Chain A
């Protein structure tokens, strides 16, 4: 019963969740690892999921938190190795054989990767996935007003970074 419910969730949401995470972390291999952890967590938490929110919101929340944890560790690792996080993000995008975008998209991806983790998550959900602010609010637990402010700040930073590259 629970196994069947889980398989239905995998069937319905695994691909969408892949793109949700990929937008935030860029690398295909990292996305694959994070996605595995997301579904292990979802499986373990499934018996206690009471349906207070939609299944998709619940899954997006787990995935966003996992991706944020990954970005936090990535940032910390870069700082401890005295590396620049921006140059590390650029290296990941430039060396990823599964990045298929043109030069303009590559510049945007690098600019997005330079955003602080939470701002990056909000920007990706709004700009790439085009989720409504109300939905992002349910996922992140942040007010709509704060999300709008965060998104506009992020969009401005991305615009400036892309223009600087021109």
Chain B
């Protein structure tokens, strides 16, 4: 089929892709009874992360600081939005 934008893939890619994806059930935890505990585990994890970040923040004030790249990756993987960052910059300028 002629595509509107012609992209290419490496030779044999889709065969190896199917093999790789079919292996997911063997690698991932079986989605079963654990699922009903997931919200509680997530809550506990959030609490642990908050404590961890707090500790790291305290440590960092007295020792080395995070690099710009580390801070960027932390923010990128958080739920923060560009609009929230812009608001922060505007209100703190």
Contacts and interface: CB of A to CB of B under 8 A. Distances in A.
Contact of A39 (B3, B24, B32): B24
Contacts of B72: 77, 80-81
Given A45-B31, A73-B77, A101 B6 contact: yes
B78 to A, nearest CB: 9
Interface string B1-32: 00111111110001001101110110010011
A36 interface: yes
A76 B75 contact: yes
A66 B75 CA distance: 18
A28 B9 contact: yes
A102 interface: yes
Contacts of A43: 24-25, 28, 31
Interface in A107-128: 108-109, 112, 127-128
Contacts, number: 94
B20 A22 contact: no
Interface residues of A, number: 44
B42 interface: no
Q: Which 6 A-B pairs have the closest CB atoms?
A: A100-B8, A101-B6, A100-B6, A98-B8, A10-B21, A80-B72
Interface of B: 3-10, 14, 17-18, 20-22, 24-25, 28, 31-32, 35, 72, 75-77, 80-82, 85
Interface of A: 2-3, 6-7, 10-11, 14-15, 18-19, 22-23, 26, 28, 32, 35-36, 39-40, 43-48, 72-73, 75-77, 79-81, 98-102, 105, 108-109, 112, 127-128
